[in-house]
Amino acid sequence: MLTCALLVAPLIAGVSGCAGSPDPLSAKPYDAADQISFSGDGDGRKADPDKPLEVTAKGDDSRITDVTATDAAGRYVRGELADDGKHWRSTVPLAAGAHYTLKVSTEDSNGAPGRRTVDFTTSSARRLLKVTFGPKAGEYGVGQPVTAKLSRPVKDPSARAVIERALKVDSRPAVEGVWHWVDSRNLHYRPQEYWPAHASITAHSNLKGIRIGGGLYGGDAKSLRVTTGDRLEALTDSGTHQMTVKRNGVPIRTIPITTGMPGFDTRNGIKVVLAKESAVRMTGASIGLGAGSYDLMVYWAARVTKSGEYVHAAPWSTGSQGYANVSHGCTGMSTANAQWFYNTVRLGDIVQVVHSNGDDMATFSNGYGDWNMAWADWRKGSAVSGGRSDATPADSARLRPQV
């Protein structure tokens, strides 16, 4: 904050108390401009939000009795008044580019009350941190996490805590949820269990103008509203070669399937539908096989990993579906079943694979594997709830389709 003592010339001379009253407190408060100075906007300059607001009583004959500072929305700025009444100092950061009203009460050596009200503004932030929430507005499955992408990397734990406290997610019905720092620019938010079916979820930021640290301030962020549909879960059992699809806990279809063969085993774990593609080209070269191994147009494909794992139609393997695993990592089924699955699921729906010999689904680097992390560990990735703020993606994955 600009440390420039603003000495305001008195506008009104001290007014005497009521006639015949010896009590100085019964007097109308006089203008205390000549008794105080504050570090604010002097000579047309705006206050520096990186420095605290300070109010000082001048001379030996007066002291400060009360100070209130509020922003344009009426929110109070916390501060501390010295025991001798000579100095008051804010204890929380001021916002950048904000308007404040400062009200100071004083008393002179005779106990007569004084008062001064001053309006001032803070300078705009030089470095802004913008937040983009995801996914896009719309209806999703109950496994869809809320995401927040930062325009700048943030590594300092205290700065992360400021950001996290300002990013709000509310749902109806209400459920407890926590932000988890995926890396220095990305956060994911999820409740302990899946979102409730038919929930309304909103995300917004209170960061605008707030000092984050290191000269960085919060910028604008567009709020987000998404909803969930029915709770749809597909349980893929690589051991029995069957997929059971449930809606709100009730099985609605059992589908014969084939999953990854030895060496191309399908990943175990909970995955979330990332995209739906009615047709996608898949080649063996994309997964390291010979150029002439296969080159296919695959239909009714629901993508569940960034690396190219799909649930799709595989008419060439119908003889093995329900009996053996012969794919290169995807979950294959008949064309009719694949079309039904494609038309039934939405982005954010759950696809869980069990009893495969494959690796476990990565938590962050290969899609939304968020639900594979235990709740206690998820909370550790919060700068507020758990304290661990150096979380990074578990691994990286090439973008490649698999069949």
Closest C-alpha to 86, from 48, 35, 34, 25:
35
Q: Which stretches of 10-135 are assigned E, i.e. beta strand? A: 30-31, 36-38, 54-57, 62-71, 79-81, 87-90, 99-108, 113-121, 127-129, 131-134
Q: In the chain, what is the straight-line distance between the N-terminal and C-terminal CA atoms, in Å? A: 61
Phi, then psi, of 253 in degrees rounded to 5: -165, 140
Sole residue written with tokens 């476990």: 360
The alpha carbon of 380 is separated from its chain's Cα centroid by a whole number of angstroms, namely: 15
The alpha carbon of 120 is separated from its chain's Cα centroid by a whole number of angstroms, namely: 31
Gyration radius of the chain's alpha carbons = 31
The CA dihedral of 391, 395, 399, 401, to the nearest 10 degrees, is -120
Q: How many residues does the chain have?
A: 403
Does 4 participate in catalysis according to the annotation? no
DSSP state of 383: T
Phi, then psi, of 316 in degrees rounded to 5: -75, -15
Closest C-alpha to 203, from 177, 184, 185:
177
Residues 6+ apart with CB under 8 A from 306: 274, 365, 366, 367, 397, 399
> Which tokens is 331 given?
């979950």
**How many helices (DSSP H) and strands (DSSP E) are in the chain?**
3, 28
Closest C-alpha to 313, from 294, 293, 288, 296:
296
Does 330 participate in catalysis according to the annotation? yes
> Which tokens is 137 given?
């507005």
By the 8 A CB rule, do 195 and 172 touch? no
Angle made by CA atoms 277, 255, 193, in degrees to the nearest 5: 75
Catalytic residue, candidates 188, 241, 312, 328: 312
Q: Which helix (H) or strand (E) holds 161?
A: helix 157-166
Question: Can you list the alpha helix ranges (DSSP code H) found in 236-313?
Answer: none
Q: What are the catalytic residues?
A: 312, 330
